[in-house]
Amino acid sequence: MSWLILLGLVFLVTFFVISKLRHRLSPRLVLLMALPLLTVSLWMQFGQLGLPNQAEAASSEETYDLSGQLFTLDGGSTNATDFDGKIIFINFWATWCGPCRAEMPSMAKLYEEFGDDGLVMLAITDEKPETVHKYLEKTPYPFTVLLDPDGILFRKLRVRGLPTTFVFNQKSELLLEHVGGYNWSKPELLDEFRRMLKEAE
């Protein structure tokens, strides 16, 4: 969550300075002062440095309860536990969420790279099916999109912001966790997934 604190501080300082000195600053100087905020925003939107947080839960062998009825877009029902024994990438998102939409093409690239190797990718939203259908008609993706209308998994995994992503191993132990948009097709991250899938064989 350090990026949230950083963004908040940059925003507050920039806003305070501009509001106090706006009558004495040239437009060019105002633009220069706003650049840090823009830089941090782009950094959050299109991929931070390094890898997502590697969860300590995996080393402590803590398992997560991923049970709960989910629904497919055609009205069928399923459960995340149906994919036990595989590496599961769970992304919580919404059609109105800009960072969610921005990271989905990179999620698609990750899935296209490793879907045939056993990576399960679930994009879960609590929105109405007609809303999701309308969005996906314009921007279809190869991974599985599921509905959680009652927010069962949202609550179980304590999702507090969108997008939020979790990666679990075949024993439902948490491997990676990330809050905010991310570039999931970065080469170093592809290497990390390649390693995880190899260990899961």
pLDDT category at 147 given cuts 50, 70, 90 is: very high
Domain ranges of the chain: 2-46, 53-199
Res 134 pLDDT > 80:
yes
Q: What pLDDT does 63 receive?
A: 85
Helix, strand, coil percent content, the chain, rounded in steps of 5: 50, 20, 35
Q: Give the tens place of pLDDT for each residue, 152-184.
A: 999 999 999 999 999 999 999 999 999 999 999
Kindly tell me if the per-residue pLDDT of 2 is higher than 50.
no
Question: At 147, is the secondary structure helix, strand, or coil?
Answer: strand
Q: What is the pLDDT of residues 67-110, one digit of tens each?
A: 999 999 999 999 999 998 999 999 999 999 999 999 999 999 99
Report the alpha-carbon distance of residue 132 to residue 96 in Å, rounded: 10
Question: What one-character DSSP code corresponds to residue 23?
Answer: T
pLDDT tens figures, 10-63: 555 665 665 666 566 566 665 666 666 555 454 444 444 456 665 444 444 678
pLDDT in tens, 176-198: 999 999 999 999 999 999 999 99
Side-chain-facing half-sphere of 110: CA atoms under 13 Å: 30
Indicate the helix (H) or strand (E) that contains 15. helix 2-21
- Nearest of 161, 132, 160 to residue 148 by alpha carbon: 132
Contact 89, 120 (CB under 8 A): yes
Report d(CA 152, CA 59) in Å as an integer: 26
Using the structure block, give the residue that is written with the tokens 């706003």.
34
What residue type is assigned to position 10 of the chain? V
Residue type, 120: V
Q: Which CATH class is domain 53-199?
A: alpha beta
What is the rounded average pLDDT for all residues in the chain?
82
Of 157, 144, 179, 128, the residue nearest 68 (C-alpha): 157
| Residue 16 one-letter amino acid | F
Q: What gap in Å lies between CA 23 and CA 46, rounded to an integer? A: 34
Q: Which pLDDT does position 30 carry in this prediction?
A: 56
**pLDDT of the residue at 47:** 44
